[in-house]
Amino acid sequence: MSTSSALLPPSRKPPLTFRRLLVAYVLIALVPYVWSTTQQLEVRGVYQSILTALNISMLAALLAQYPLSGRINAVTRYTGVDNGMLLHRKAGEIIALFFLLHPFLIIIPRFFIAPQHALGDIWSSLTTGESSTGVFAWVIMIVWVLMSMYRDKLRISYESWRISHGIGLVAVAILGTHHAISVGRHGRYEPWFDVMWIVLCSIAVGIVAYTYFIRPIQQKKQPFKVVEVEKAGSNDWALTIEKDGDFPFHFDAGQFLWINTSGNPYNRVEHPFSIASSPSSLPRVSFIIRELGDYTSNLEALKPGQRVFVDGPHGVFTLNGRSSSGIALIAGGAGIGPILGILRQLRDLGETKPIRLIYGNRQFDQMVFQEEIHSIEKALSDFDQTLVLEQPEDGVDAQAGFISQNLLEGAFSTDQKESWVFYVCGPPVMVEAVSDHLRTIGVPEKQILFEQLAFA
Ligand SMILES: Cc1cc2nc3c(=O)[nH]c(=O)nc-3n(C[C@H](O)[C@H](O)[C@H](O)COP(=O)(O)OP(=O)(O)OC[C@H]3O[C@@H](n4cnc5c(N)ncnc54)[C@H](O)[C@@H]3O)c2cc1C
């Protein structure tokens, strides 16, 4: 880091890359199975052994989903919020598919061993009281998967979906665990195995309970209030809130908060927004918010003094712990929020490294805080902004089109591609495309940091 790095908060390690996170997740999910193999368990045949290994590992993977998606800083510090949510979704799809197939995988061999009794055996095993929790978990899983797949078509609001997702997760964890320890092979033989599932299930349910009941108590003790909501661009708002009390609150530029403006900390209608201010702005915190749907199109209704509850700060899209010879900031649309926060912090620090901002939007009137960005250009020794417009306008100094591979190729020298750190923020499609372009032009994976303005 440059001379100014001493002013940065104590450095933390960047989170795991998606690949490493995936490997860690798979290894964690395998632990119960590996443990089970050290016991004297009766499992007959190759098919049964594979199925047993899969059943145990998939249940462990299901229970590991809770810390992965539970917004716990001690976890997200290592996983990164984007990668954690991406893994949560991808692994969730595989786990759901496996558990949907689970009864069929158990049933199929019976048709080979004793076809004449197979249907009767299946019916009696499904209708015994012992299996009922498994059957309930299975049905809930189907409803839950269908709801996730067809949320938009069914016109289920994001909030209703999130609440039902939370309730579904708790139900599936409890019922699935009960099923595993009542009819699951291993539970019958080794009591310790039951205890392990109960502990893992309790942690999972505890995380959900913490999110819904305990965190709101903390939020209530640390309220914020609205300071102002101003138009920042043709469809963007600048919202500023302020700590309403004397309590410790710190953040790193680039992090985000979930904000709840309902007035009730237990209300689960909360939205994530990246902080657009630098830590020096505390006790005030500001955001740049693009009008997109019900909530973001009604920000004008927020009144100064109105109570705001926040959850966070979250995220690792920060300057912390990263050393590089230069900084590239690439923003699409509302992605300028955390990028501006980082830029403001670099200005406050008097950063001397080269900094380049590439900022894309459809039209020029969507570009926010241009005056301030120009003043930062003057304040910093080596900072330069490139605007990119889908719809170029006469008299506006901007590149036409998207933040394309060609544009990025031309903007950075080979040396810069290899030694700079690249921060990318915007809607998922833009972040995915730009990250791909950066990899293609030779930027090492570990030097690309991204924040998507939606969970994958
Ligand atoms: C980490 C992160 C940081 C973000 N930072 C910013 C920012 O600085 N500025 C900005 O303009 N936008 C930001 N967003 C996006 C912003 O949260 C959504 O645009 C907003 O919540 C949409 O709410 P709505 O009711 O207006 O729109 P809706 O039409 O209800 O939702 C549009 C889409 O936004 C997402 N969404 C809606 N509600 C939520 C919610 N409660 N939690 C998570 N996602 C939701 C869903 O994918 C939904 O399909 C960020 C998102 C994330 C995940």
pLDDT digits (tens, 9 = 90+) for 259-278: 999 999 988 789 999 999 99
Q: Which amino acid is at 307?
A: R
- Report pLDDT for 185: 55
CA 292 to ligand 1 centroid distance, Å: 8
- Report pLDDT for 8: 43
Q: Which of 178, 194, 218 is the endpoint of a domain?
A: 218
Q: Does the CB atom of residue 296 touch ligand 1 within 6 A? A: yes
Cβ proximity of 383 and 357 under 8 Å:
yes
CATH number at residue 294: 2.40.30.10
Q: In what order do the strands lie in the sheet with 307-314?
A: 271-274, 256-260, 307-314, 224-233, 236-243, 284-290
Q: Are residues 160 and 178 in the same domain?
A: yes
Q: Name the closest-CA residue to atom 19, ligand 1.
A: 292
Q: Are residues 259 and 403 in the same domain?
A: no
Q: Name the closest-CA residue to atom 15, ligand 1.
A: 453
Q: Does the CB atom of residue 272 touch ligand 1 within 6 A? A: yes
Cα separation, 257 vs 395, whole angstroms: 37
Q: Does the CB atom of residue 294 touch ligand 1 within 6 A? A: yes
Q: Name the closest-CA residue to atom 24, ligand 1.
A: 293
Q: Are residues 198 and 236 in the same domain?
A: no
- Report pLDDT for 12: 57
Name which of 315, 259, 321 is nearest 285 in CA terms.
259
Q: Which amino acid is at 432?
A: E
Show the low-confidence residues of the chain (pLDDT under 50): 1-11, 186-187
Q: Name the closest-CA residue to atom 14, ligand 1.
A: 453
- Report pLDDT for 205: 94
Closest ligand 1 atom, CA of 159? Answer: 41
Q: Which of 195, 218, 241 is the endpoint of a domain?
A: 218
What is the DSSP-derived secondary structure letter of residue 319? S
Q: Are residues 204 and 252 in the same domain?
A: no
| H-assigned helices in 70-190 | 73-79, 81-113, 115-127, 132-149, 158-182, 185-189
Is 319 within a domain? no
Number of domains observed in the structure of the chain:
3
Cβ proximity of 328 and 423 under 8 Å:
yes
Instruction: List the domain range (segments joined by +) for residue 440.
Output: 327-452
Q: Are residues 202 and 228 in the same domain?
A: no
pLDDT tens digits along 135-161: 889 898 888 878 877 888 888 887 788
Closest ligand 1 atom, CA of 276? Answer: 8
Is 244 within a domain? yes
